[in-house]
Amino acid sequence: MTATLQQTLLAPHTQPLVIADCQTLIEQELSGMSGVSGAAVKLAYKTVNKFSPGHVRYMVEVLLPQMTNELEPYWAQFTASGGPEFGDYLVQHGDAVTEALLSVTDARGAASNRPVITKAYGAVRDKAARHVTAALPRVGALVQKHAA
């Protein structure tokens, strides 16, 4: 039986590598942003890091199991299809994948008892779908790197 995405990405020897790669991906995505919405996202990131150093990494650790769970059906369909690139597969299903991933952060944001974090998330949420969709090829490559 083939291991699930959760079993693979959350394995004790793999999870720290996935978390580090997620942190790198976030920083790369931020560095490539421009314009008003890019400035807003960068400001939110800077604000969170100023008031709670290490919070973004912590959130990656906390959200990774749920994000992996949301990606699981897409990974299963992708592997069954025999396609070459998971990132391409995610892009083909972009709207659904984006909403699935954002459902995790939305739930977490709504449950936060930290006003600074909640405000920062609220400031960028309206444009989040566009940014998540743009990152899907790199998200897929990251997943495939550790799951294949």
pLDDT tens digits along 45-59: 888 888 888 888 998
CA of residue 102 relative to chain centroid, distance: 8
User: Predicted confidence band at 1 (pLDDT cuts at 50, 70, 90)?
Assistant: low
Q: Cβ atoms within 10 A of the Cβ of 126, count?
A: 10
Tokens of 28: 């790369």
Q: Looking at per-residue confidence, does 116 or 25 come out higher?
A: 25
Q: Please give the Cα distance from 43 to 46 (Å, whole number).
A: 5
72 burial level (CB within 10 Å; 0-12, 13-18, 19+): middle
Average pLDDT over residues 78-93: 95
User: Predicted confidence band at 35 (pLDDT cuts at 50, 70, 90)?
Assistant: confident
pTM above 0.85, yes or no: yes
Phi-psi category of residue 19: left, alpha or beta, with phi > 0 → left and psi -120 to 50 → alpha: alpha
